[in-house]
Amino acid sequence: MTISGITYPDIIDDLLEGLRHPSLIIIRGPAGVGKALFIATLVKDYIEKGRGKAYIINFMISRETSIKYARRHGIDLEKYVHEDKLNIRNIVSIPFSEEGLASLYTALTEAADYVRDGIIVLYPADLAFVGLTLREIVKVIGVIRSIMEDFGSKIVLSFTEHDDEESARVRGIFEAIADFVFRISAEIPEAGVPRRYLTIIKPIGRFMFASRTLELYTEHGTGYRLFSYGILPTYKAEIDLNDKIYTGIKVLDELVDGFIRGTIVAFLGTTGAGKTALLLTLAYKLAEAGERVLYISLEEPAEQLIQALRGLGYSYEDVRENLLIMNINPRAITLHSFFNILLRRIDMFKVSVIVIDGLHALAREFGDETFRVIKDIGYYAKSSKMTLFISELLGERGALPLPPISTIADALIRLVLERINHNYNRLICLEKYRMKSIEPTCKVFKIPLEPSDQPRTCRD
């Protein structure tokens, strides 16, 4: 499913291959990570797609609790109950006794008769099978298999991960024969937004997206959406080598003789090398020349950057119609919301140039997944003929430990702070430009940056 340029894998159609055949599905994860919401989303989607009925068998959890929890997220399970598309049953006795086992078999049989080729959920399944012997577990598996074969039912088992070996052993038996196994995990930072992820454990080979881990994004009324870090599996980029952007900064314009529109330019440098001052000046000059520029800082507040512009000798008010400066705090977002914010601003502001300052701040929060999203942003920018400028912090001995931005950058520019006795020189070095035959070159520059004396505008 694609909405506003973002691809959302569909739980039923993509993850579960349409759920058209009898299947055993395992959902597992620690307590409190959101397995119940995943099940509510699955049930809602299955019913609303017209695929059939659903039956939830709760162990030690009341029917009212399930309905109330789903309603908090905007999913009305009670409506499906009234429409006779869903039944919810509560089992209060744990089936480690003969009576408990009989109750489980009765519930499974009633569920199969109700849903036929629909879905049956056991939640949480670890309570359903606690204390059972291996012989009893094999018998339960036989009943489940018979239901799948005789009725065409799909069986969903939700397991809470525990530390004890017994629970892991029981779960392992079911996972060995399952058609699908998914794990939900969560990162709960001391400050900031909790992040939930879905890892596809099984089947590994048939999943259509490149990444086996997807971000779970909660949306009221929808439940979970799955965000894949593969937004544009393929893209088209028509590059006109004669369509150049001149930055209005003398040292840059002399270094590259204009950046080709629709390319990705990465600025790398140590602290104090002048990355932010360079990007702010670049953004101002491009906006002054008529480009629509979106400047995103991942480290500094927008008001502070506007003051920094004034310190460089520029008035933000003169270009504010063409320059949007905003700050995004990496601790207050998910990667999904970061891309979503970017798309909304691009659409609202009719952006032609994107500047992302401080990529390393995003990488500290999200690690390697950061590069996947930046890669997707780059592809999106190229397909829309937007030019993307990115800055990344370098340590004294090279880049911070994140995937190299150079693999997607068309132009790579390093800013160097060189100490000479008691003084410092700033150098700007062009290390590569895929679209041009330019030898690696370094030039000295100073802040504030000297304006270009080239008479050409950005669209000359």
Average confidence (pLDDT) over 40-68: 95
Q: Which of 193, 227, 261 is the last residue of a domain?
A: 227
Of 276, 322, 295, 266, residue with least CA distance to 458: 322
Are 174 and 287 found together in one domain?
no
Q: Is the per-residue pLDDT at 391 higher than 70?
A: yes
175-187: per-residue pLDDT in tens?
Answer: 999 999 999 999 8
Q: Which of 227, 260, 295 is the last residue of a domain?
A: 227
pLDDT of residue 133: 87
Rounded CA-CA distance 311/186 in Å is 43
140 or 228, which is more confident?
140
Output Rg (C-alpha) for the chain, integer angstroms: 28
Are 167 and 302 found together in one domain?
no
Tell me, yes or no, whether 453 lies in a domain: no
Q: Which of 227, 255, 288 is the last residue of a domain?
A: 227
H-helix or E-strand containing 310?
A: helix 302-311
Q: Which of 6-20, 79-93, 264-278, 304-318 bottoms out in mean pLDDT, i.e. has the lowest?
A: 6-20
Q: Is the per-residue pLDDT at 309 higher than 70?
A: yes
Are 187 and 302 found together in one domain?
no
Are 289 and 145 found together in one domain?
no
Q: Is the per-residue pLDDT at 364 higher than 50?
A: yes
The CATH number covering residue 103 comes to 3.40.50.300
Of 458, 449, 443, 445, residue with least CA distance to 281: 449
> What are the helix and strand counts (H, E) for the chain?
13, 22
| Structure letter (DSSP) for residue 249 | B
**Strands 119-123 and 154-160, bridge-based pairing:** parallel
Q: Is the per-residue pLDDT at 445 higher than 70?
A: yes
Are 131 and 105 found together in one domain?
yes
Tell me, yes or no, whether 26 lies in a domain: yes
Rounded CA-CA distance 360/401 in Å is 9
Rounded CA-CA distance 174/177 in Å is 6
Tell me, yes or no, whether 271 lies in a domain: yes
Under the banding of pLDDT at 50, 70 and 90, the label for residue 234 is: low
pLDDT of residue 397: 47
**Strands 411-420 and 423-433, bridge-based pairing:** antiparallel
Are 163 and 300 found together in one domain?
no
142-183: per-residue pLDDT in tens?
Answer: 999 999 999 999 999 999 998 888 889 999 999 999 999 999
Q: Is the per-residue pLDDT at 209 higher than 50?
A: no
Tell me, yes or no, whether 398 lies in a domain: yes
Are 44 and 101 found together in one domain?
yes
Which phi and psi (to 5°) does residue 452 adopt?
-70, 145
Rounded CA-CA distance 373/387 in Å is 16
Domain count, the chain: 2
Average confidence (pLDDT) over 265-290: 94
Q: Is the per-residue pLDDT at 373 higher than 90?
A: no
Q: Is the per-residue pLDDT at 33 higher than 60?
A: yes
Are 273 and 392 found together in one domain?
yes
CA atoms within 13 A on the CB side of 81: 13
pLDDT of residue 232: 59
Tell me, yes or no, whether 284 lies in a domain: yes
Q: Is the per-residue pLDDT at 2 higher than 50?
A: no
Q: Is the per-residue pLDDT at 58 higher than 60?
A: yes
Q: Is the per-residue pLDDT at 23 higher than 70?
A: yes
Q: Is the per-residue pLDDT at 230 higher than 80?
A: no
CA torsion angle for 372, 375, 380, 383 (degrees, to 10)? -140
Average confidence (pLDDT) over 128-142: 89
Are 163 and 288 found together in one domain?
no
Average confidence (pLDDT) over 45-52: 96
310-330: per-residue pLDDT in tens?
Answer: 999 999 999 999 999 999 999
Tell me, yes or no, whether 452 lies in a domain: no
Are 284 and 216 found together in one domain?
no
**Cis geometry, peptide bond prior to residue 404 (ω within 30 degrees of 0):** no
Tell me, yes or no, whether 417 lies in a domain: yes
Are 32 and 63 found together in one domain?
yes
Are 272 and 416 found together in one domain?
yes
Pick left, alpha or beta for residue 367 (phi over 0 → left; psi -120 to 50 → alpha; otherwise beta).
Answer: left
Tell me, yes or no, whether 384 lies in a domain: yes
Q: Which of 49-58, 63-72, 204-213, 433-442 bottoms out in mean pLDDT, i.e. has the lowest?
A: 204-213
Find tokens 């997707």 and name the residue. Answer: 376
Note down the domain range covering 23. Answer: 2-227
pLDDT of residue 22: 96
401-443: per-residue pLDDT in tens?
Answer: 444 677 789 999 999 988 777 778 899 999 989 888 888 899 9
Under the banding of pLDDT at 50, 70 and 90, the label for residue 96 is: low
